[in-house]
Amino acid sequence: MTLAQNQTQITDLPEKETILELKQIRKHFPIKAGVFQKKVGAVKAVDGIDLKIYKGETLGIVGESGCGKSTLGRTMIRLYEPTDGQIFFKGQDITRVSESKLRQSTRKNIQMVFQDPFASLNPRKTLRSIIKEPYKTHHLYSLKERNEKVEQLLSKVGLHPSFANRYPHEFSGGQRQRIGIARALAMNPDMIIADEPVSALDVSIQAQVINLMEELQEEFDLTYLFISHDLSVVRHISDRVGVMYLGKMMELADKHSLYDEPLHPYTQALLSSVPVTRKKGQTKRERIMLQGDLPSPANPPKGCVFHTRCPHAKEICKEKVPAFQELKTNHFVACHLYNA
């Protein structure tokens, strides 16, 4: 099977509606130097990813800090313009659509919840102003209707409607993240990209926010892209999980298949770091320690980008990029260990 054939198959499940599709998406940030700021290189934050996200599912994306998870999410909705590749939303190519057309159509239907609830809300605006801003931008509803909808949204995320006239600094981190979720819901989107939405919160508050997101997903038929470095949280909320390393997708499968039987050496190392409670008499799980540091995305290794830290690396790994292939039903992996 050729690489091109493999790429067209990636994440392709039967009888599921594709809401967003990426084809060979790349996002390279230029490195400039000198008086005239001449380009001398590029940081390859996302480097050739094919992906399909299905309506109503939660797709988790995990990996080390700096692997390109957040950049991938922001490139999907063109907060970062892609360097190469195509983005399709509901079958429509939005890669080169003008900013005005993007705002009129796609931006209403894909919203984002940001990592830092302290930085993502304007401290000079009340909750009412923050949440109804999308209605003003898109010229929707009367003033009275906007205010009613703000209060309804606050109730949906577990905050009292009377809080609408308060400012963000008056709330805790968990409450601010609820405000961010309410703002994302304002336009009744089809999809929400949640970029590390609970990483800045206490563990007890994390559980509350995750439960809220699950309830809202069921009520509003939402699709989530859930980006996180917390493997336990991703396992709880996700239907499928993708593992990224140095801008590339290493493995993609439904959560049960990936967590119970990880195939890629990098995924195996990640999962071995998750603390687990052992029953009496149960064998202690081996901790896989990766050697070396994460290479620079400005100068990634040739061949498989993971070969410099992989305990199973072969000569072919240093020269040839592995195909992203389906080894088991809907379980995809990019690794030469499984090539015939």
Token pair 């001398």 is at which residue? 40
User: For the chain, where are the alpha helices, taking DSSP H only?
Assistant: 3-9, 69-76, 99-104, 106-109, 127-137, 143-156, 173-185, 203-220, 231-237, 255-260, 265-272, 315-319
Question: Is the same domain home to 12 and 156?
Answer: no
The domain boundary residue, chosen from 189, 221, 237 = 189
How far, in Å, CA of 257 to CA of 9, rounded?
A: 18
Q: Looking at the domain assignment, is residue 70 inside a domain? A: yes
Q: Looking at the domain assignment, is residue 208 inside a domain? A: no
The domain boundary residue, chosen from 130, 155, 189 = 189
Question: Is the same domain home to 195 and 66?
Answer: yes
Question: Is the same domain home to 58 and 165?
Answer: no
Q: What is the pLDDT of residue 239?
A: 96
Q: Looking at the domain assignment, is residue 39 inside a domain? A: yes
DSSP string of 18-83, one letter each residue: EEEEEEEEEEEEEEEETTTTEEEEEEEEEEEEEEEEETT-EEEEE-STTSSHHHHHHHHTTSS--S
Helix (H), strand (E) at residue 16? none
Residue whose C-alpha is closest to residue 217's, from 156, 288, 290: 156
Q: What is the sign of the dihedral through the CA atoms of 93, 95, 97 and 101?
A: positive
Q: What is the pLDDT of residue 4?
A: 43
CATH number at residue 60: 3.40.50.300
Q: How far is CA 161 from CA 31, 158, 323, in A?
A: 47, 9, 52
Q: Looking at the domain assignment, is residue 232 inside a domain? A: yes
Strand 240-245 and strand 248-254: the pairing is antiparallel
Q: Looking at the domain assignment, is residue 96 inside a domain? A: no
Q: How far is CA 54 from CA 46, 111, 121, 173, 306, in A?
A: 21, 16, 30, 31, 28
Question: Is the same domain home to 51 and 167?
Answer: no
Q: Looking at the domain assignment, is residue 331 inside a domain? A: yes
Number of compact structural domains in the chain = 2
Q: Looking at the domain assignment, is residue 64 inside a domain? A: yes
Structural domain that includes position 218: 1-90+191-199+213-274+285-340
Question: Is the same domain home to 145 and 164?
Answer: yes
- Global pTM reads 0.89
Q: What is the pLDDT of residue 62?
A: 96
Question: Is the same domain home to 23 and 126?
Answer: no
What Rg, from alpha-carbon coordinates, does the chain have? 21
Question: Is the same domain home to 195 and 319?
Answer: yes
Residue whose C-alpha is closest to residue 44's, from 18, 64, 71: 71
CB 13 within 8 A of CB 330: yes
The domain boundary residue, chosen from 189, 221, 240 = 189
CB 298 within 8 A of CB 44: yes
Residue whose C-alpha is closest to residue 127's, from 193, 176, 66: 176
Q: What is the pLDDT of residue 278?
A: 58
Q: What is the pLDDT of residue 15?
A: 67
List residues bridging with 249 in a β-sheet. 244
> Which tokens belong to 213?
């997101």
Question: Is the same domain home to 148 and 255?
Answer: no
Q: Looking at the domain assignment, is residue 280 inside a domain? A: no
Question: Is the same domain home to 230 and 335?
Answer: yes
Question: Is the same domain home to 41 and 126?
Answer: no
Question: Is the same domain home to 184 and 195?
Answer: no
Question: Is the same domain home to 180 and 244?
Answer: no
Question: What does the pLDDT profile of the chain (340 residues) look like in tens digits?
Answer: 444 444 444 444 456 899 999 999 999 999 998 888 888 889 999 999 999 999 999 999 999 888 999 999 999 999 999 999 999 999 999 999 998 888 887 888 999 999 888 888 999 999 999 999 999 988 889 999 999 999 999 999 999 999 999 999 999 999 999 999 999 999 999 999 999 999 888 888 999 999 999 999 999 999 999 999 889 999 999 999 999 999 999 999 999 999 999 999 999 999 988 766 555 655 566 778 788 788 889 999 999 999 999 999 999 999 999 999 999 999 999 999 987 5
CB 113 within 8 A of CB 197: yes
